[in-house]
Every structure is written in structure tokens, then in C-alpha cells.
Amino acid sequence: MGTVTYSYKMFKYFNRKFDVSEQAPPPDVKEAFSAFSHGAASSMSAHQLLRFLHDHQRETDCTAEDSNRILDSIIQSRKQTNDTNSERHHHPDNNKNGLTLDEFFRFLFLLDFNDPLKSQVHHDMNAPLSHYFIYTGHNSYLTGNQLSSVCSDVPIIKALQRGVRVIELDLWPNSTKDDIDVVHGRTLTAPVSLIQCLKSIKEYAFVKSNYPVIITLEDHLTPFLQARVAEMIAQVFGDMLYFPHEDPLTEFPSPESLKGRILISTKPPKEYLESKQFKDSDSERESNEEGSLSPCIIPELEVVDEKSNGNDLDEEGLSARDKKSDQQSAPEYKRLITINAGKPKGHVKDHLNNVGGVKRLSLSEHELEKASATYGSDIVRFTQKNIIRVYPKGTRVTSSNYRPHIGWMYGAQMVAFNMQGHGKSLWYMQGMFRANGGCGYVKKPAFLTEKGPHNEVVDPKRALPEKKSLKVKVYMGNGWSSDFSKTHFDTFSPPDFYTKVCIVGVPADKANKKTKVIQDNWFPVWDEEFEFPLTVPELALLRIEVREYDKHEKDDFGGQTCLPVSELRSGFRAVPLFDQKGEQLKSVKLLMRFQFVDSVPTSQ
């Protein structure tokens, strides 16, 4: 074990030197190495490594070929190091057929072998779309706030590269009423052309995941322009576009059957035209909910009276004659729609007893919370066949987000987020969709998709007994000295790191813990364990955040990650950390251990 010296200058005259020891294997790692290499042995063979992977790491699908490949790669790396140093020192290779303790320790830090999550899709992908949580964007074209930012295809591209599967586009007539802009209506946002957005969606739709991309259209168009949209979509996507085989659909197709396909979700034209009389579009409701968004919203124009001659256009570009022509004006547009959307006119309860074809219902976060207080089980029953999209309330003008669990608890599939709205809520969303290989579709827990023997469904508000406990041990971290400048955290000394370990899920599972502060050390060793009892582990996320303690100011950010508890791999794991936007830091990792303990039922 070596020592690294860091020098810091104080007041331009004095140097402070800090000797920092490089990390050594913690006691638990030494114990595991000794146990699987039969104690007295100085190295671990491929067979012993395989036993470690099976028994300690619970990786029962690993084979002898896997352990031999791991061993070979590490021995090859050792030989290269020895060759480099051979001119200066001669070190006999006494462990040529096995791992030393130090090599075993370094192996545990390798993400390729010890990532905390599986990298492959492993959920059943043959159920209807309604049985999945789907990675969903809100106003996907906005680069910043909801009022004055630029609209662009760049955030759409970024979202698709991250695995987002639902892209929302707001469609409005352009200034000359002969083409279509994508823009947040009645705000000062600068538009982007629809055709540019569609071409970018086509190019990037399947770079991260082969599972279907759903485009939700919030349209404010004349029947003439709706027909133009249908023509553009058909031309851009061609055979990638999925058309429903029956009208109405009685069950949604599966993600597996829709690989590589683009789906359209919007209101059928007739419903849209009728809704204009009720001022019932999503964007209007978002703008008006809990008051106006802001004084800078462009005021709504007066709607032409139905008795006028029909030559004047209302604020959506619709004439009275257009309104009477309903969906027959744009049959091509109606034919594109796989997921028929709608918003409740009147009470939400009336829309939860859906019969006939399946549909998508859109509710604001506020509407969902209000409805769930009384009709929680009805919402769960509705989402077993139909889709609910939840969107941010209109007062979130800075593009902030809400806690996604308010939707997931009730089976809502499309919890729509502002992907440019960085913060803890977005970390939760990113964490959930690291599950299932990051493909953008996460199978809902069985209790949200199945009915009981008497047709009953779960009540998410009901308190449940503890199901299992998660033990989390935080050993150490490193990589900050590579990714950050020497004075990034503290001008006069190395950083003082601590780790926050939190559970986010149903209200009963909320928990927050933190380690002690390790002072003046770029390579902190905490070696602390926490235990979290869980009532609904299927919806729980483990949030990990490293901060640098500052006595006089706000603690500095040192990296974060969110991991779906149900997907955690047991044993020692190298956990990569991400920046505040969700981009993975190049070098920063924690060494941790995860263990699950089933709860013992209490006797009556």
C-alpha cells in the first residue's frame, strides 16, 4: 500500500502537505478472499473464483468459462505491468495461475464484472403495453423553462440517447398557417419545425433501445394541417410506423411485438374538435391549472361564434366550418393513432370505468393526487388495461419535476418528466429506468397488473407488513482525484467526504442515513453498514449521494446515483456515480455490498 502526498498553498506563503494512504482491501474483502481461497492459500484459482461468484455474489448463471476469462484478463494485465517494470526490478510470478488478494480487491472495482445492475433486458416483454412503466418525456422539445426557452430537436435527441421511449410534441400552425411548428403554445418559446423533430426521432429512436418509441401529439391544428401531419409522419417513418389492426383496440400490443416501431398517441380528430368547445386541451389545462402560468403568457384570442360565416379562425386556427367537418376531414390522421388519448370532462371517476376499446387518459400530478385519495383502487384497475399519463402541473414554469411515485404507486405507465429539469426527482426517474437493461420499459409489479379471486385489486394506500430488509454497506470510494481539480472541493486541503444512503418509494419505505465524515482524504474509507426494512421493495429506489462537508457553506456535490432495489445484485459491487444532470462521472466509484434478508412473519 503506497502513500500519495498532496500540497496546498495557504495565504501565498505557507505550504500544507497531506499524506494520503492508498486504499487497502477492507476486512470483509480479506475475509471473503480467505474463505474462498481456503485460508492459507496466497492466490485464488479460477475454480475458487467461480465458487465466490456463485455463493457470495449470487451469480448462479456464471460458468467456468466466465471465471477463466476473468482470471486470464487479470493475469494478462499483470504480465504487462511486470514487463514494464522488468528492467528496474525482477519480481518472480509466484501466482501465475491465480489472483492475489490485491488483484481480487481491484477486480471488485471493475464495472464490467461487478456492476450493481444487470445490463441485459430480462423482464417478460410479451405483455400488453399497459403492464409496463414507460420512460416518458414532457414537452420533449424544450431546452429550458416552460415560458421563454428555445424549442429544438436537440433535447429530443438527448432523451432518446438516454432511453426515453415517449416523446411529446405540441403542434401549432406556423405564422402563415400553411405548415406546422412544434412550440409550447401561448408562451414566448421559439418554435422548431415538425419535420426536423420527426427526422431526428427517426435517426435516434433506437440507438439506446430497440423497444417502441411512442410519439404523443398535443395538436392544435386545422383538419387541413392534420392531414399534412399524417403525410409527414408516413413519409418520414415509412415501414417503422405501426398501424393498429383493429379499431378500437381491445388490448394494447406488447413491447416485444413492437420492436423497432414508432407509435402515435393523440386525441382522435372528432374528440379534439369537440374538446375545443370545452377548452379542454392538455396545454390549456396545464396553463390554467392552479392559476395562470405567468403574466407573460400570450392571452387567448376570442373564439369565433358558431353563428359566424366560418371564414374567421379561432386561436387554434379552426373555423366554424372546420368544427362541423369533424374527423372526416382528416381520415389519414385518425388512421395513424394507435393509442387514443383523452382528458376527463367532468369528474375523473367517470372515466375510470372504461368499457370497450383501450385508451390513454391524461391527468396532471395534482389531478392524480386528488383522485387517488378517493379512487386509488379504481385507478389501479383502470391501468391494468388502459394507460394513464401524468404530467407536471402548470405552475412548474422552471421545468421542475414531481415525485414519480405518485404515479407509479397506482400503476400509471407514462409519468411524464421535464428531462431538462435537473434535481432529485429526475434522479429517481433515471434510477427507475436503469432497470431491465435500460431499455425504457420496466414491467410493473404483479400486484399492479393482477386481480384477486374476487376481482379485487390492491389499495396502494393500505399499510403493508415488512416484506424484506436491504443491508447496504459502504466501504470506500475513489476517482475524485482524477475527475476533479485539486482545489475543486476545498482550496486549502483535500476534501471531507461523506455518503448519504436513502430509500425512496412508497411513504412507509422512506428512510435517510449517512456515513461519518472522512476528513482531508481523496480516498475515503467509511466501512459502515445500514439496514432498510421494506414493505414494497418492487417500487423502492436506493439513492446514494456523496457530499463534501463544508462548515461554513452548503456542502459540495460529489456524485450521485439511484438504483432500483428490486434489480440490485447481491454481494460486493462497484457503484459508478453520476453528476447532477445524470451523466456518468469518468472515474468516481464506490465499493459497496448489498444483501437481502427476508422478513420473518410475526406470530399472532
Same-domain pairing of 107 and 133: no
Could you report the per-residue pLDDT of 61-107, keeping only the tens digit for each? 999 999 999 999 898 888 776 665 555 555 555 556 789 999 999 99
Closest CA to 380 of 433, 438, 445: 445
Q: Is residue 415 part of a domain?
A: yes
90 is catalytic: no
Q: Is residue 309 part of a domain?
A: no
The yes-or-no verdict on residue 176 having pLDDT over 80 is yes
Could you report the per-residue pLDDT of 124-147, keeping only the tens digit for each? 999 999 999 999 999 999 999 999
Same-domain pairing of 467 and 375: no
Could you report the per-residue pLDDT of 509-567, keeping only the tens digit for each? 999 999 999 999 999 999 999 999 999 999 999 999 999 999 888 999 999 999 999 99
Same-domain pairing of 425 and 489: no
Tally of domains within the chain: 3
Of 426, 453, 480, which residue constitutes the final position of a domain? 453
Same-domain pairing of 472 and 431: no
Closest CA to 476 of 502, 498, 501: 498
* Strands (DSSP E) found in 192-319: 192-193, 213-219, 262-266
Question: Please, what is the end-to-end C-alpha distance for the chain in angstroms?
Answer: 55
Highest mean pLDDT among 38-52, 280-294, 353-367, 571-585: 571-585
Q: Is residue 289 part of a domain?
A: no
Beta bridge partners of 5: 19
Same-domain pairing of 469 and 424: no
Same-domain pairing of 475 and 442: no
Q: Is residue 168 part of a domain?
A: yes
Whole-number pLDDT of residue 293: 45
**Lowest pLDDT segment from 183-187, 242-246, 471-475, 589-593:** 242-246
The residue-averaged pLDDT of 306-316 equals 38
Same-domain pairing of 234 and 361: yes
Closest CA to 114 of 467, 492, 520, 569: 569
Residue entry with cell 480479506: 30
Residue entry with cell 462537508: 549
Please give the backbone phi and psi of residue 587, each rounded to the nearest 5 degrees, phi first. -125, -20
Question: Which residues span the domain enclosing 571?
Answer: 462-603
Closest CA to 314 of 183, 191, 188, 185: 185
Spell out a b/e string for 207-224, using b for 16 or more CB atoms within 10 Å of the CB, else e: ebbbbbbbbbbbbbbbbe
Same-domain pairing of 407 and 479: no
What's the rounded Cα separation, in Å, for the pair 4 and 2?
7
Report residue 408's pLDDT band, with 50, 70 and 90 as the boundaries.
very high
Same-domain pairing of 467 and 381: no
Closest CA to 219 of 261, 191, 242, 185: 185
**Lowest pLDDT segment from 296-300, 468-472, 576-580:** 296-300
Do 60 and 54 form a contact (C-beta atoms < 8 A)? Answer: yes
Of 85, 113, 141, which residue constitutes the final position of a domain? 113
Please give the backbone phi and psi of residue 449, each rounded to the nearest 5 degrees, phi first. -115, -10
Q: Is residue 57 part of a domain?
A: yes
Domain of residue 199, CATH code = 3.20.20.190
The letter for the amino acid at 503 is I
Residue tagged active-site, from 138, 220, 351, 405: 138
Closest CA to 398 of 361, 426, 371, 370: 426
Q: In a 10 Å sphere around its CB, with 0-12 CB exposed, 13-18 middle and 19+ buried, how is residue 188 labelled?
A: middle
Helix (H, G, I), strand (E, B) or coil at 529: strand
Q: Is residue 149 part of a domain?
A: yes
Q: In a 10 Å sphere around its CB, with 0-12 CB exposed, 13-18 middle and 19+ buried, how is residue 120 labelled?
A: exposed
Closest CA to 388 of 218, 72, 213, 134: 134
Residue tagged active-site, from 184, 220, 351, 405: 184
Q: Is residue 541 part of a domain?
A: yes
Record the cell numbers describing residue 215, joined without a space: 410519439
Whole-number pLDDT of residue 282: 57
Domain of residue 573, CATH code = 2.60.40.150
What's the rounded Cα separation, in Å, for the pair 266 and 169?
10
| Region of 219 on the Ramachandran plot (φ > 0 left; ψ -120 to 50 alpha; else beta) | beta
What's the rounded Cα separation, in Å, for the pair 246 and 503?
43
Angle formed by the axes of helices 64-85 and 101-108, to 10°?
Answer: 110
Residue entry with cell 408562451: 187
What's the rounded Cα separation, in Å, for the pair 129 and 440?
12
Per-position DSSP letters for 255-310, written without gaps between them: TGGGTT-EEEEE--HHHHHHHHTTT--HHHHHHHTTS-S-TTSPPPPPPPPTTS-S
Closest CA to 283 of 370, 341, 220: 220
Same-domain pairing of 433 and 473: no
Whole-number pLDDT of residue 433: 98
Of 58, 87, 113, which residue constitutes the final position of a domain? 113
Same-domain pairing of 250 and 366: yes
User: Considering the chain, what percentage of its residues have pLDDT values greater than 70?
Assistant: 85
Same-domain pairing of 360 and 245: yes
**What is the enclosing helix (H) or strand (E) of 414?**
strand 414-417
Beta bridge partners of 534: 468
Angle formed by the axes of helices 27-36 and 101-108, to 10°?
Answer: 120
245 is catalytic: no
Cα 554 to Cα 387, 549, 550, 578: the distances in Å are 42, 8, 6, 19
Q: Is residue 300 part of a domain?
A: no
Whole-number pLDDT of residue 78: 80
The yes-or-no verdict on residue 148 having pLDDT over 50 is yes
